[in-house]
């Protein structure tokens, strides 16, 4: 019995009992008073019920509006889809690194599909038009077919690629699928991100089973960061006419250095290490192995050290590397070009790293 019915029943019952027990005027007056109480109770109950119903309706409407807004926001939010074919690293490990990485990025744009797979012994045969080599294939034909079908579906449903028009869309997808097929079927040591469109990226991480966990997982994050770098998408479209392929080649040390800088910090945070120490350690290692030339060793590690020198000289903000904003407006071309005095110093002095009393740092000469 609801609140209104309860009040009404009690009031009527009380009135009946009162009238039945006496017919005197005083009793009749009491009955009239009871009737008034009944009317008041009825009005109050009706009002409360109306208010309760309105409150519930408003609450339901708000809940639905909030749910609709969340659904709409989720639908427009950039995604990162993982295909894990590796037998060494769990879905949880790769996903944790992805989640940690994207949580740092400001104003994400790219929709990404990332594939991790194992490869065996190197066969030494080159892969078409790419700096990769053929390896023993360790994934099954069914895995390859399923992966290629998933990638194709991802590309076919991508809004950026749909903007090419029907012919352009087919041409783009067929081109990408042809080379992706070769990479998987020939066990390519593909560590790259392919730009199918400005906001559509496909990450490959073909890792030898003999490769260390550190190298494999840092490469996973490194390539993911490339997929999150907005201004390296050249075809199509370039950020601007001056931010073209030639300019990108000149600033390759910044692109690769930025990805390594980010990967060192993300992996260090994931493992409870110090990201800055990692940059210094591998920068010093590159210097000891290959010399002081920025391009003599691995450009990613030397570039990361040069970027750190720019940070310590106050020319670049650490946060702009970590949140990706350094690579959103092609400042690697418009600001950090070879004529920039700080860039000149960073490229020539990145190797001036010292390890004193258990602590890495740049030598004072590099910071002047």
Distance of alpha carbon 139 from alpha carbon 320, whole angstroms: 38
pLDDT attached to residue 55? 72
Distance of alpha carbon 347 from alpha carbon 311, whole angstroms: 13
Distance of alpha carbon 215 from alpha carbon 207, whole angstroms: 9
Q: Assess contact for 354 and 295: CB atoms under 8 A.
A: no
pLDDT attached to residue 234? 57
pLDDT attached to residue 62? 72
Instruction: Supply 70's token pair.
Output: 């969340």
Residue 361, in any domain of the structure: yes
Q: Assess contact for 216 and 128: CB atoms under 8 A.
A: no
209 and 269 fall within a common domain: no
18 and 155 fall within a common domain: no
297 and 320 fall within a common domain: yes
Q: Is 31's pLDDT higher than 60?
A: no
DSSP letters spanning 83-123: EE--SSS-HHHHHHHHHHHHTT-SS---EEEEEEEEEEEEE
285 and 360 fall within a common domain: yes
- Per-residue pLDDT of 38-84, as tens digits, reads 667 666 766 666 676 667 777 777 777 665 555 454 557 999 999 99
217 and 305 fall within a common domain: no
The residue with greater pLDDT, 19 or 320, is 320
Residue 288, in any domain of the structure: yes
Q: Is 305's pLDDT higher than 80?
A: yes
260 and 192 fall within a common domain: no
Instruction: Supply 310's token pair.
Output: 């720019």
- Among 33, 54, 74, the domain-final residue is 74
Q: Is 212's pLDDT higher than 90?
A: yes
Residue 234, in any domain of the structure: no
Q: For the packed helices 91-102 and 213-228, what is the interaxial angle rounded to 10 degrees?
A: 40
DSSP state of 326: G
State the residue range of the domain holding 64.
3-74
261 and 340 fall within a common domain: yes
- Among 228, 260, 293, the domain-final residue is 228
292 and 212 fall within a common domain: no
Count up the domains in the chain and report the number.
3
Residue 142, in any domain of the structure: yes
The pairing of strands 200-208 and 353-356 is: unpaired
Residue 235, in any domain of the structure: no
197 and 255 fall within a common domain: no
- Per-residue pLDDT of 104-117, as tens digits, reads 999 999 999 999 99
Residue 192, in any domain of the structure: yes
Distance of alpha carbon 242 from alpha carbon 248, whole angstroms: 10
pLDDT attached to residue 243? 81
Residue 233, in any domain of the structure: no
What value does the mean pLDDT of the chain take? 87
339 and 253 fall within a common domain: yes
Contacts of residue 267, Cβ cutoff 8 Å, sequence gap at least 6: 97, 214, 217, 218, 221, 273, 275, 278
Residue 238, in any domain of the structure: no
Q: What is the pTM of this model?
A: 0.80
pLDDT attached to residue 119? 98
284 and 299 fall within a common domain: yes
- Among 27, 44, 74, the domain-final residue is 74
Judge if the upstream peptide bond of residue 330 is cis by omega within 30 degrees of 0.
no
Instruction: Supply 181's token pair.
Output: 């097929």
Q: Which helix (H) or strand (E) holds 125?
A: strand 111-126
143 and 45 fall within a common domain: no
Q: Is 18's pLDDT higher than 50?
A: no
Most confident of 21-25, 53-57, 66-70, 148-152: 148-152
Instruction: Supply 341's token pair.
Output: 């005095």
Q: Assess contact for 297 and 290: CB atoms under 8 A.
A: yes
């Amino acid at each position: 019995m609801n609140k209104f019915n309860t009040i009404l029943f009690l009031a009527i019952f009380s009135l009946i009992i009162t009238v039945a027990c006496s017919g005197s005027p005083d009793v009749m007056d009491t009955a009239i008073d009871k009737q008034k109480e009944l009317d008041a109770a009825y009005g109050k109950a009706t009002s409360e019920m109306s208010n309760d119903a309105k409150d519930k309706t408003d609450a339901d409407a708000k809940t639905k509006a909030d749910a609709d807004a969340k659904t709409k926001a989720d639908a427009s939010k950039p995604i990162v889809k993982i295909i894990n074919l590796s037998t060494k690293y769990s879905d949880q490990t790769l996903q944790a690194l992805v989640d940690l990485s994207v949580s740092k990025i400001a104003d994400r744009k790219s929709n990404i599909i990332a594939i991790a797979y194992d490869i065996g012994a190197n066969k030494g045969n080159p892969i078409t038009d790419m700096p990769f080599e053929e390896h023993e294939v360790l994934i099954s034909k069914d895995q390859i077919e399923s992966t290629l079908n998933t990638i194709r579906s991802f590309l076919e449903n991508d809004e950026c690629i749909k903007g090419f028009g029907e012919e352009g869309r087919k041409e783009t997808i067929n081109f990408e699928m042809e080379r992706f097929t070769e990479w998987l079927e020939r066990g390519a040591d593909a560590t790259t991100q392919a730009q199918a469109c400005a906001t559509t990226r496909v990450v490959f991480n073909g890792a030898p089973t003999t490769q260390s966990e550190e190298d494999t997982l840092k490469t996973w994050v490194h390539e993911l960061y490339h997929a999150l770098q907005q201004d390296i998408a050249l075809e199509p479209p370039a950020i601007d006419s001056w931010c073209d392929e030639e300019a990108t080649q000149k600033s390759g040390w910044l692109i690769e250095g930025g990805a390594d800088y980010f990967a060192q910090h993300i992996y260090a945070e994931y493992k409870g290490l110090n990201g800055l120490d990692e940059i210094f350690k591998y920068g010093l290692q590159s210097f000891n192995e290959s010399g002081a030339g920025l391009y003599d060793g691995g450009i990613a590690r030397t570039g990361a050290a040069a970027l750190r020198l720019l940070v310590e000289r106050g020319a670049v903000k650490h946060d702009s590397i970590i949140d990706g904003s350094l690579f959103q407006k092609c400042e690697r071309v418009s600001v950090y070009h070879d004529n920039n005095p700080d860039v000149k110093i960073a490229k020539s002095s990145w190797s001036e790293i010292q390890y004193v009393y258990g602590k890495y740092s740049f030598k004072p000469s590099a910071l002047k």
